[in-house]
Structure 1
Amino acid sequence: MSFSVGKIIKKSYIRLIRFMHKPLMNKAGEDPYHAVIQEFVTLSMETDNASILEIGSRNVTGVTRRAMFSHCSQYIGFDILDGDGVDVVGDVHDLSRHFPPESFDYVYSISVFEHVLFPWKAALEINKIMKVGGYVLVTSHPVWPPHELPWDFWRFPGGGFHALFNEYTGFEIISIAEGLPCSIYSLAQDAPAYDNCFHTLNQGVSVIARKTGNFEGDLLKWEVNASDVLKTMYPKSVVD
C-alpha cells in the first residue's frame, strides 16, 4: 500500500512541477535534439535498398523506432541482451565479430553510449562495419540521473563527440546539437554551485557523423576487453 501511495505522490508532484514550468517548456518536435534525429531519418531515405543497424534495439522502455525506417530494405536490431526487437545478440565493443566489413549504409543508437564502457572502441567498431559514405547517429545525455545501474558510465556534452568521430577514427561530424533543456537546484552548501539554478542544462545530445574512410589502425589501438574489466552485466529489468 505504501508503495502505491508513494507512486501517486510522485506522479502528482511531477504534474505540479510540469504545470509550474509549462511557460518555459519547449515542444518536443521543435527541440534541436529531435531535429538531428529527424535529419538522420531523412538522410536514410536517400539511399536505395539501404541497410541499417540499430545498436541497443531491445525494447526496454516501450518506445521502439524500427517503424521510422520502414523504407530501408534491411533492418537489424543489435543488443547485448536478447529480447523484443533484437535480431543479433552481442557486445558493441566486438561489433565486427558479428558483421562483415562495410555491411551497413546507416547505423544508429539512442541513449546507448552512456552505457558503453569504452565508447571510443565502439566508434572504431562502428567504422569497421559501415560503408564509406554512410552515416551514423548517436544520441546520449549531457545530464541525466543514474540509470540502468551498474552499467551507467558516461555523460556526453556535445563537444565530447569530437573525440569519438574525427579524421583519425574515419569520420566527419555533419550535425550535432544539445537539447531537452532543464534546470537544476543545488542541495549542497557549496558556493560554486549556488548559481547553477540560473543556468540551462541539456538532457539530450544528438550527433550525425559520416564515414570518410577506415580509421588509422596502427595509431588507435585498444586491446583491453570490456569483459576483462567488468564483472557485472547490463540489467535485464524493464523500466517502469
Structure 2
Amino acid sequence: MSDIIVSQMDIDHLKIIRQSIIDFMIYVAKHYANKPGILLDIAPQIYEGAKPFFLQSIKIETFDINPASGCTYIGDICTYNNCLKNDIFDYIVCTEVLEHTLQPFNAVAEIWRILKPGGIIFLSVPFNLRIHGPLPDCWRFTEHGLRVLLKDFSILELNNIETLERQLMPVHYTVVAQKLSK
C-alpha cells in the first residue's frame, strides 16, 4: 500500500477546525451554558473533550460507541439507548461526530429524545476536509443540510468558517440549537 500524501490545505484546515472547536467551546460555555446542569459530551475521543471549558457546576457525562473509551455511557447515538433517560440533559456537546455516523437523522432524533425541553445542543461538523478517522467518515453537511437535520430544534446560531480561496466551500460549521417543547 502506498503512503498517503496529505495536502497542505488539509493540514491547514485541520488546524482551523481544531481552533474553531476550542473557540466554540469557550464561546458557548460563556454565553449559553452559564447555569448549573448536566452536559453530555458525545464521543469526546482522545481529545480533552468539553470538560475544560464548562463551569464546575455543570456535571459532565460522556457517551461513546467504543466500550474501551471509559465513557459514562456506551452505545450507538444512532439508536435508542436504554442507558439514557428521556429529557435528562441540559446541554449536549456533539463536535465532529455526525460525519462519522451511519444514520445522522437517527442520531439527531436520539439527541432530541435525551435533551430536556429548553436544553441546548452545541454541534460542529467539518465540510471542506478530507476523509478522516475514526472511520467510517460518511457525510459532509451544508448549512441547508444542517437546517433540515435540526428541523425540530430552534437554531439559535449557525456559523461557518469560509475557505478563503473558495467561496461557498466552508471549512467548518458550528451550531447552537435549542429543543423547544413540541
Aligned residue in 2 for 1:120: 105
How far off is 1:34 after superposition? 6.0
Aligned residue in 1 for 2:155: 173
How far off is 1:153 after superposition? 0.8
Whose strand proportion is higher, 1 or 2? 2
For 1:118 and 1:37, how far apart are their aligned partners in 2?
Answer: 25
Q: TM-score, normalised by structure 1?
A: 0.62
For 1:136 and 1:200, how far apart are their aligned partners in 2?
Answer: 25
- In structure 2, the CA distance between the partners of 1:99 and 1:158, relative to structure 1 (3 Å rule), is same
How far off is 1:177 after superposition? 0.6
Which of these residues, 41, 49, 58, is aligned with residue 45 of structure 2?
Answer: 58
For 1:107 and 1:149, how far apart are their aligned partners in 2?
Answer: 21
For 2:26 and 2:143, how far apart are their aligned partners in 1?
Answer: 18
For 1:41 and 1:113, how far apart are their aligned partners in 2?
Answer: 21
Query: What is the aligned residue count?
Result: 176
Equivalent runs, 1:1-240 vs 2, <5 Å: 14=8, 36-42=24-30, 43-45=32-34, 47-48=35-36, 50-59=37-46, 62-84=47-69, 86-148=71-133, 150-166=135-151, 169=152, 171-179=153-161, 181=163, 183=165, 199=167, 201-214=169-182
For 1:96 and 1:212, how far apart are their aligned partners in 2?
Answer: 22
Structure 2 stretches lacking a partner, 5+ long: none
- In structure 2, the CA distance between the partners of 1:164 and 1:40, relative to structure 1 (3 Å rule), is same
Structure 1 ranges of 4+ moved more than 6 A = none
Whose helix proportion is higher, 1 or 2? 1
Q: TM-score, normalised by structure 2?
A: 0.80
- In structure 2, the CA distance between the partners of 1:90 and 1:201, relative to structure 1 (3 Å rule), is same
- In structure 2, the CA distance between the partners of 1:149 and 1:78, relative to structure 1 (3 Å rule), is closer
For 1:78 and 1:210, how far apart are their aligned partners in 2?
Answer: 20
Aligned residue in 2 for 1:226: none
The structure having more radius of gyration, on CA atoms, is 1
Taking every aligned residue pair, what percent have the same amino acid on both sides? Answer: 21
How far off is 1:142 after superposition? 1.6
Q: Is the 8 A contact 1:58 1:83 kept in 2?
A: no
For 1:162 and 1:144, how far apart are their aligned partners in 2?
Answer: 20
How far off is 1:205 after superposition? 0.5
CA RMSD of superposed structures (Å): 3.2
